[in-house]
Chains A and B, each alone.
Chain A
Amino acid sequence: MTEERSFFGVDVLLALATVTLMVIGVLFIYSSGITSDGQSLSREWVRQIIWVAIGLGLLVAVASFDYARWRDFAPYIYIGVLVILVGTLLFGRVVNGARSWIGIGELGVQPSEFAKIATILMLARFFEQRSGRVGELPVFALGAGIALLPMALILLQPDLGTALVYVPVFLVMAWVAGARTSHVLFIVTVGLLTIVLTVIPTWVSDFQPTDRLIGTALSNTRTLLALGSGFLAIAAIGVVGMAALKRSYFRWVIYGAAIPIASIAGSFVGRRVLPNHALMRLIVFLDPYVDPRGAGWNIIQSVTAVGSGGVSGKGWLEGTQSHLQFLPQQSTDFIFSILAEEWGFIGALGVFACFSVLIARGLIIAAKAKDNFASYVSAGIVTMIFFHVFVNVGMAIGVMPITGIPLLFLSYGGSSLWTALIGVGLLMSVFQHRYRY
């Protein structure tokens, strides 16, 4: 008790960082509701306060609940969430182009948010039961399947941003649970390469970048097939070599060849599956000025708002780009842009400090957890929180494509806030029960 800064068994730093972030969130949701004329018309901030209150209730409930019970409920929760996700696909309400809402009348939630927690719990249970065997490919693949199921359902909504969160959550959890680094890196490399190969044809044909030689080559289906066949041949040699000579370096030859093969195959699938607007977002991220009034507008306006904030910002409620409505979706996707404009670099530093505390505490809790389940859950939650910061802030400062995922604790919206708070509640529960055997 003495080495931890805790009070009544509560992790004070974690609680403080969480509350600080939520207060900042409400402040800037209020700010985002100020119109050009300086009037506050939006009531979003009032609702956010209500969400915070309910969310804190959830946090306390989850925190005081022994997390060990979640291990038992995890499969039911997971299956229940999958059912709800299917239901959402069938009966859900379309918001911002994705059928992601379910509920009655005005009240509704985004099941895809809560599904993250359910998946984290399920994965933690799965990996704990197979401790020491996660390095085996079938176990790793099965774990990937657990993450892929909800992810696929969310992709069908389609909500690319939310679905993407499952990838790092699964990878980090698996890795912490003992998965091979080569397995994890394989997925990371294939994923990135697939995205690049998917985007390049549209980019080259629609926007004609100056450096198009490689791009044109990589958009040609035949070239890609030829490349794929080449790598397949290398892989075949590797298989034969390994069978004949039993040298382990042939394994790496196969590994190396499999990456481009999987990426090329993935890009063919991606091009069929990904809707045009998603491709456009990825391209615009590469060069927002290809379409400054359309798809590039968000990035340009956000970067302008952030950059013009300077060291200490324009002052709360004094942001020009945000209040003159240049900045889109200020209370949700671009809450960080408003903050950076009005509070400047110092404000951004503060937000990063809070998230750093949260993540550091989460990792320490993971390290000190009394069992693997608790540790994996903590790692999953930390990854989820981090990935949201990584993508959302990256998008606001123009280094990430626009994927529309919220900045947890700050962005307006009940579902994502409650998910984050349940996550923190789980961390606290792990923290509280760390010495109990």
Chain B
Amino acid sequence: MSGMSSSGSNTVPRDRLIVAGIAIGLVFLVYLIYLFSMQVVDGYIYSLRAEEVRRRSVVIAAPRGNIYDRTVSTPIATNRESFAIDVNPAEISRDEIDDVFSRLSELLGIPVADIYDAVPQRRYTTFQHIEVKSEVPYATITRIAEHKADLPGVSWRIKPVRSYVDGDTFSHVLGYVGDITPEQLQVLFNRGYNARSVIGKSGIELQYDEVLRGSEGQEFRTVDAQGRRVVGRDGERVAPVQGNDLVLTLDREIQTLTQKALGARIGAAVVLDPHNGEILSMVSYPSFDANQFYGPGGADYFTEVSLDPRGSFINRTIQAQESPASTFKVLMSAAVLEEDAFDPEATVFCPGYYMVGDTVFRCHKEHGHGDVNLAVALAESCNVYFYTIGNEHLGIESIIDYSRIMGLGERTGVDLPNERAGLIPTPEWKQRTYGDGWRPGDTVNTSIGQGFVLTTPLQLANAVATIINRGVVYRPHVVREIRDPVSGAIVEDYQPEVLRTAPVSDETFALVQEAMRGVALDGTPEVVLTTNAPVGGKTGTSQTISDERKHSWFIGFAPKGPGSSEYVVTVVWIDAQNEWDWWGPYATNIIVHGIYNGFTYEETIEDLRGLRNPWLWYGRGLPE
């Protein structure tokens, strides 16, 4: 009632109401101008930002390119479709997670602890697909699909797995693939790799990774604030591009022949086409089957291979460096002939040893070869002859020069990773390394490919190729062509690349080649080289600390077939760790016979048994 007294008239100042109205109007105007600038002027910026936050891209793996041998028939490396199981922990409620994991472990047949390891607790709330198992068979996928309702957050996807069709036959050349390591990613991030990339780890897979890998596809998905995929709002899809195919210079038949000819001996064998540098086969033992890296128990197998004390991952054709031993005498012969340092017909008397000062250098024949000329010295592998030549007629500088001409002491440049350079010792090198001057004894040792000299099998093959090809040396290579995976069209054709031309006369090379042919006909390995192919070559037996165990080399060449003027070069090296069986020439005999006659390994063995001296095979443990 008291209010009544002051009521009755409105004394509110109008101007204040008007000011209030204007103030409110101004605020609204400012807001509208602000909204206009946000929505109309800058709207596109916010649209982009909105797009950004709700679009997630999912990577679709690109199938790796296939790898073919030179016949381009069936691939030797291809992809097998396989499935991987992913778990998305954010899609599983907390109280269900244990049940889901135990059900999944049962279906996958793996311990539940593996799943807990793959999906640690700190990632339970992150929306991310975490792979718990790969290489899951189709039947398991079917069963998981049947139980989909009981398995929230569990999904599967196709994950191509590398398949090496010939098992361990091409392993060292092809290499293998694996998940990218953080260290690799740091280096390669700008080249289009990501944390889930599969990358070549060795061999061609590593060397040609960027050719083979193709480009990953992307699927843009719309996600909500929790990162959940929103069905029915999917954006565009960028299809993955399969990597290019590779055609190798290797020949599956020759590779298999070579592998079997080498057998279970630690060592290496390589067959090279001297006319263009194409490697026809390249075998190293022990080998590995990369297929087993990806299957169940793959990690265990990988560890086993990695820890093998014999070094299964080593591609011994380019990574083993050993003394070339007597094979070096071929190079010495070329030097003598070209330099006219010593008349090839003149003889040197071999008493079974050679004296430099007080030091005695022995010939392998205890009582000596008597008077030997170059051809005989090479055939009989007389050390004393080459000691004399090297130390008294050529000198170390000349030996070094000819080693360089033959491509020793430096990488051949083969298109495979981690090739080693070998070593041709020089007086400067010795001074630098040992702080000791060059001594005549060093020249003597070098003259028969001992001492400090180190070569890889492929280097020696290239040296022989230099002789066969009259001084023209091609870069040895394993890849012939890059092909488009869809059309089969050749994308890149690797033309033979001349590494260098040796400044040595054709005549010298012809004489050396003839002398090597003489070695096979009349020399130490004559009894072993039973093939009907007109093979030439040189043995090498390098001593190790133990006299019982020796490296066995054989470098050789033979025509590709009856009447062919084209040759293949073969180099076999058997490590001294093996039981001594002088396998270098034996393996060469099988390889050359097989190539010359177009036989498989089995046919070769069969055929060789029928040739002369069948008794030689008895007790040799020749593999069946």
Contacts and interface: CB of A to CB of B under 8 A. Distances in A.
A132 B9 CA distance: 13
A164 to B, nearest CB: 16
Q: Among the interface residues B27, B38, B39, B53, which one has the most CB atoms of the partner chain A within 10 A?
A: B39
Contacts of B129: none
A68 B225 CA distance: 52
A166 interface: no
B7 A324 contact: no
Contact of B43 (A71, A308, A366): A308
Given A37-B231, A307-B46, A128 B3 contact: yes
B40 to A, nearest CB: 5
Nearest to A74: B3
Task: Classify chain B: how many residues form its interface, as a range.
Answer: 35 or more
B20 A172 contact: yes
Interface string A366-401: 111111111110010011001001100110010100
B237 interface: no
Contact of A36 (B11, B46, B47, B230): B230
B128 to A, nearest CB: 16
Interface string A346-383: 00110010011001100100111111111110010011
A374 B9 CA distance: 10
Given A125-B3, A310-B40, A386 B24 contact: yes
A356 B25 contact: yes
Nearest to A307: B46
B138 interface: no
A129 interface: yes
B3 A373 contact: yes
B12 interface: yes
Given A304-B50, A325-B225, A326-B224, A375 B34 contact: no
Interface in A291-326: 301, 303-311, 320-321, 323-326
Contact of A371 (B7, B25, B54, B223): B7
A348 B32 contact: yes
B53 A307 contact: no
Given A128-B3, A320-B50, A372-B10, A306 B35 contact: yes
B116 interface: no
Interface string B127-163: 0000000000000000000000000000000000000
A367 B10 CA distance: 8
A68 B6 CA distance: 12
Contacts of A344: 39
B45 interface: yes
A309 B43 CA distance: 7
Interface stretch (A12-20, A24-32, A174-182): A174-182
A311 B36 CA distance: 8
Output the residue of B1, B9, B50 with the most chain A CB within 10 A: B50
28 contacts: A125-B3, A128-B6, A129-B5, A131-B6, A175-B20, A176-B12, A304-B49, A307-B39, A307-B45, A307-B47, A309-B39, A309-B43, A310-B39, A310-B47, A311-B43, A321-B50, A323-B224, A325-B225, A326-B225, A345-B36, A348-B35, A352-B31, A363-B21, A371-B9, A373-B7, A376-B12, A382-B20, A397-B38
Given A352-B32, A366-B12, A366-B17, A325 B224 contact: yes
A37 B13 CA distance: 56
Contacts of B24: 359, 382, 386
A194 B16 CA distance: 27
A437 B46 CA distance: 56
A306 B17 CA distance: 32
B14 interface: yes
A131 B6 CA distance: 8
Contacts of B563: none
A356 B11 CA distance: 25
A379 B54 contact: no
Interface in B579-624: none
Nearest to B44: A310
A304 B10 contact: no
A36 B3 contact: no
Nearest to A179: B16
Interface in A159-180: 172, 175-178
Given A72-B3, A308-B43, A345-B35, A367 B14 contact: yes
A129 B8 contact: no
A432 B64 CA distance: 82
Contacts of A389: 28
Which 10 pairs of residues, A with B, have the shortest CB-CB distance? A307-B46, A324-B224, A308-B50, A36-B224, A310-B43, A71-B3, A325-B225, A371-B7, A375-B12, A308-B46
B228 interface: yes
A340 interface: yes
Contacts of B308: none
A36 B224 CA distance: 6
B565 interface: no
A308 B43 CA distance: 5
Q: Which of A128, A308, A371 has the most B CB atoms < 10 Å from its CB?
A: A308
A304 B53 contact: yes
Contacts of A128: 3, 6-7
Nearest to A371: B7
Interface of A: 36-38, 68, 71-72, 125, 128-129, 131-132, 172, 175-178, 301, 303-311, 320-321, 323-326, 340, 344-345, 348-349, 352, 355-356, 359-360, 363, 366-376, 379, 382-383, 386, 389-390, 393-394, 397, 399, 437
B38 A306 contact: yes
A308 B21 contact: no
Nearest to B14: A367
B6 A370 contact: no
Contacts of B2: 129
B17 A372 contact: no
Contact of A175 (B16, B25, B223): B16
Contacts of B11: 131-132, 372
A336 B14 CA distance: 33
A379 B20 CA distance: 9
B10 A369 contact: yes
B230 to A, nearest CB: 5
Contacts of A386: 24, 27
A399 B38 CA distance: 12
Contact of B27 (A72, A349, A390): A390
A320 B46 CA distance: 12
B46 A306 contact: yes
A371 B39 contact: no
B43 A370 contact: no
Contacts of B20: 172, 175-176, 363, 379, 382-383
Nearest to B12: A375
B577 interface: no
Counting chain B CB atoms within 10 Å of each CB, which of A323, A345, A370, A374 scores highest?
Answer: A345
Contacts of A132: 11
Given A352-B28, A372-B10, A324 B225 contact: yes
B7 A320 contact: no
Contacts of A372: 6-7, 9-12
Contacts of B34: 397, 399
A293 B32 CA distance: 28
B232 interface: yes
B46 A304 contact: yes
B226 interface: yes
B43 A397 contact: no
